Amino acid sequence: MDLTSGIEKMWSATLVGKGAACLSCKGICSGFLPHSWRKACTQCGCSVEDHGQSSDLEDDHKMGRLLADSKYVHLTAKVKGIRVYKRNRMVITNPVVSRKDPTFNTITYDWAPPGLTQKLAMLYMELLPEEKRPVAGTEGAMYRRRQLMRQLPVYDQDPSQCHGPLPEDQLQAMSVFMKSYKEEALGVGEVALPGEGGAKPPPVVKGDKQKNGTGNGQATTVQPDPIYTPTTNGTDCCKSEYLFLLYRGGLPLHSKPFNP
Q: Using H for helix, E for strand and C for coil, what is the string for 32-48?
A: CCECCCCCEECCCCCEH
Percent of the chain clearing pLDDT 70 (strictly above):
67
What's the rounded Cα separation, in Å, for the pair 118 and 128?
16
What's the rounded Cα separation, in Å, for the pair 157 and 145?
18
Neighbours of 117 (CB within 10 A): 8
End-to-end alpha carbon distance in the chain: 27
Q: Which stretch of 45-59, 90-104, 168-182, 233-247 has the lowest confidence by average pLDDT?
A: 233-247
- Is 0.75 surpassed by the pTM of this model? no
| Digit-coded pLDDT (tens) for 142-199 | 888 888 888 888 778 888 877 778 899 999 999 998 898 888 888 888 888 887 765 5
pLDDT at residue 209, rounded to an integer: 35
Angle, CA 237 vertex, CA 124 and CA 41 arms, to 5°: 95
Q: Using H for helix, E for strand and C for coil, what is the string for the chain?
A: CCHHHHHHHHHHHHCCCCCCCECCCCCCCCCCCECCCCCEECCCCCEHHHECCCCHHHHHHHHHHHHCCCCCHHHEEEECCEEEECCCCEEEEEEECCCCCCEEEEEEECCCCCCCCHHHHHHHHHHCCHHHCCECCCHHHHHHHHHHHHHCCHHHCCHHHCCCCCCHHHHHHHHHHHHHHHHHCEEECEEECCCCCCCCCCCCCECCCCCCCCCEEECCCCCCCCEECHHHCCCCCCCCCCHHHEEECCECCCCCCCCC
| Digit-coded pLDDT (tens) for 105-129 | 899 999 998 888 999 999 999 988 9
| Digit-coded pLDDT (tens) for 191-244 | 888 877 655 444 333 333 333 333 344 433 334 445 555 554 444 444 456 567
Encoded amino acid at 230, one letter: P
Q: Where along the chain do its domains lie?
A: 3-52, 183-248
Angle, CA 153 vertex, CA 16 and CA 138 arms, to 5°: 75
What's the rounded Cα separation, in Å, for the pair 168 and 163?
15
- Average pLDDT of the residues in 96-102: 73
pLDDT confidence band for 68 (50 / 70 / 90): very high
